[in-house]
Structure 1
Amino acid sequence: MKVIYKKYDLNDRQYKLLEILSQNNENIINKEYRELFGVSRFTAARDLRRLVELNLIQKYEISGKEVIYSIK
Protein backbone atom coordinates (compact mmCIF):
# COMPACT_ATOMS: atom_id res chain seq x y z
CA MET A 1 0.00 0.00 0.00
CA LYS A 2 2.76 2.46 0.87
CA VAL A 3 4.28 2.07 -2.58
CA ILE A 4 1.08 3.30 -4.26
CA TYR A 5 0.98 6.45 -2.13
CA LYS A 6 4.75 7.02 -1.85
CA LYS A 7 4.66 10.20 -3.91
CA TYR A 8 2.33 11.88 -1.39
CA ASP A 9 4.75 11.86 1.58
CA LEU A 10 2.14 10.64 4.08
CA ASN A 11 2.73 9.73 7.70
CA ASP A 12 2.27 6.16 8.98
CA ARG A 13 -1.21 6.90 10.36
CA GLN A 14 -2.40 8.18 7.00
CA TYR A 15 -1.01 5.12 5.19
CA LYS A 16 -2.70 2.83 7.71
CA LEU A 17 -6.03 4.65 7.39
CA LEU A 18 -5.97 4.35 3.60
CA GLU A 19 -5.25 0.66 3.97
CA ILE A 20 -8.12 0.17 6.43
CA LEU A 21 -10.61 2.16 4.38
CA SER A 22 -9.71 0.50 1.08
CA GLN A 23 -9.66 -3.07 2.42
CA ASN A 24 -12.91 -2.80 4.36
CA ASN A 25 -14.70 -0.19 2.25
CA GLU A 26 -15.57 1.61 5.47
CA ASN A 27 -16.07 5.17 6.65
CA ILE A 28 -14.47 6.90 9.60
CA ILE A 29 -15.16 9.99 11.69
CA ASN A 30 -12.64 12.21 13.45
CA LYS A 31 -13.39 10.65 16.86
CA GLU A 32 -12.76 7.12 15.56
CA TYR A 33 -9.50 8.27 13.96
CA ARG A 34 -8.37 9.78 17.28
CA GLU A 35 -9.21 6.59 19.15
CA LEU A 36 -7.63 4.33 16.55
CA PHE A 37 -4.31 6.19 16.52
CA GLY A 38 -4.27 7.82 19.96
CA VAL A 39 -3.89 11.35 18.62
CA SER A 40 -5.39 14.73 19.50
CA ARG A 41 -8.36 16.29 17.75
CA PHE A 42 -6.01 18.76 16.04
CA THR A 43 -3.71 16.02 14.73
CA ALA A 44 -6.63 13.93 13.49
CA ALA A 45 -8.15 16.95 11.71
CA ARG A 46 -4.81 17.82 10.13
CA ASP A 47 -4.19 14.25 8.93
CA LEU A 48 -7.69 13.89 7.50
CA ARG A 49 -7.64 17.34 5.89
CA ARG A 50 -4.38 16.49 4.11
CA LEU A 51 -5.85 13.28 2.70
CA VAL A 52 -8.90 15.21 1.47
CA GLU A 53 -6.67 17.89 -0.11
CA LEU A 54 -4.72 15.17 -1.91
CA ASN A 55 -8.03 13.76 -3.16
CA LEU A 56 -7.32 10.37 -1.55
CA ILE A 57 -10.42 10.37 0.66
CA GLN A 58 -13.80 12.07 0.46
CA LYS A 59 -15.41 14.21 3.13
CA TYR A 60 -19.18 14.08 3.68
CA GLU A 61 -20.93 16.40 6.09
CA ILE A 62 -23.96 14.66 7.49
CA SER A 63 -25.39 17.04 10.05
CA GLY A 64 -24.04 20.08 11.82
CA LYS A 65 -20.44 19.33 12.69
CA GLU A 66 -20.60 15.60 11.96
CA VAL A 67 -18.34 14.60 9.09
CA ILE A 68 -17.64 11.17 7.60
CA TYR A 69 -14.55 10.33 5.59
CA SER A 70 -14.33 7.50 3.06
CA ILE A 71 -11.85 6.26 0.47
CA LYS A 72 -12.13 7.66 -3.06
Structure 2
Amino acid sequence: MAKKIEWKYETTVARVEDILDEIESGELEFTEVFDKFAIAVESLQQCEDFLAKQRSQVDLLLENLGDR
Protein backbone atom coordinates (compact mmCIF):
# COMPACT_ATOMS: atom_id res chain seq x y z
CA MET A 1 0.00 0.00 0.00
CA ALA A 2 1.37 3.42 -0.97
CA LYS A 3 1.82 5.98 1.77
CA LYS A 4 -0.03 9.24 1.16
CA ILE A 5 2.28 12.26 1.29
CA GLU A 6 0.90 15.06 3.43
CA TRP A 7 0.78 18.41 1.62
CA LYS A 8 2.14 21.36 3.59
CA TYR A 9 1.90 25.04 2.70
CA GLU A 10 5.32 25.91 4.10
CA THR A 11 7.02 23.05 2.26
CA THR A 12 5.39 24.07 -1.01
CA VAL A 13 6.42 27.70 -0.62
CA ALA A 14 9.99 26.60 0.12
CA ARG A 15 9.94 24.42 -2.99
CA VAL A 16 8.82 27.38 -5.12
CA GLU A 17 11.60 29.51 -3.63
CA ASP A 18 14.13 26.77 -4.47
CA ILE A 19 12.83 26.62 -8.03
CA LEU A 20 13.12 30.38 -8.41
CA ASP A 21 16.69 30.24 -7.12
CA GLU A 22 17.47 27.53 -9.69
CA ILE A 23 15.94 29.56 -12.51
CA GLU A 24 17.74 32.74 -11.44
CA SER A 25 21.08 30.92 -11.19
CA GLY A 26 21.24 30.71 -14.98
CA GLU A 27 22.58 27.16 -14.74
CA LEU A 28 19.48 25.41 -16.11
CA GLU A 29 19.04 24.53 -19.74
CA PHE A 30 16.35 26.51 -21.52
CA THR A 31 13.84 23.64 -21.55
CA GLU A 32 14.45 22.97 -17.86
CA VAL A 33 13.49 26.56 -17.06
CA PHE A 34 10.03 26.02 -18.57
CA ASP A 35 9.59 22.69 -16.77
CA LYS A 36 10.58 24.23 -13.43
CA PHE A 37 8.38 27.26 -14.09
CA ALA A 38 5.38 24.99 -14.73
CA ILE A 39 6.00 23.19 -11.43
CA ALA A 40 6.26 26.54 -9.61
CA VAL A 41 2.99 27.78 -11.13
CA GLU A 42 1.20 24.56 -10.15
CA SER A 43 2.60 24.80 -6.63
CA LEU A 44 1.52 28.43 -6.31
CA GLN A 45 -1.99 27.45 -7.43
CA GLN A 46 -2.08 24.83 -4.67
CA CYS A 47 -1.04 27.52 -2.17
CA GLU A 48 -3.69 29.90 -3.45
CA ASP A 49 -6.37 27.20 -3.17
CA PHE A 50 -5.24 26.36 0.36
CA LEU A 51 -5.33 30.01 1.44
CA ALA A 52 -8.78 30.51 -0.09
CA LYS A 53 -10.09 27.50 1.82
CA GLN A 54 -8.55 28.76 5.06
CA ARG A 55 -9.98 32.24 4.47
CA SER A 56 -13.46 30.72 3.99
CA GLN A 57 -13.13 28.81 7.25
CA VAL A 58 -12.06 31.94 9.13
CA ASP A 59 -14.96 33.90 7.62
CA LEU A 60 -17.37 31.17 8.71
CA LEU A 61 -15.95 31.16 12.24
CA LEU A 62 -16.24 34.93 12.46
CA GLU A 63 -19.79 34.80 11.15
CA ASN A 64 -20.71 32.20 13.77
CA LEU A 65 -19.04 34.29 16.46
CA GLY A 66 -21.07 37.33 15.37
CA ASP A 67 -24.28 35.31 15.63
CA ARG A 68 -23.70 34.62 19.33
Q: What TM-score do the two structures reach when normalised by structure 2?
A: 0.33
Greater fraction of residues in strand:
1
Which structure is richer in relative contact order (CA contacts within 8 A, separation 6 or more)? 2
Higher Rg: 2
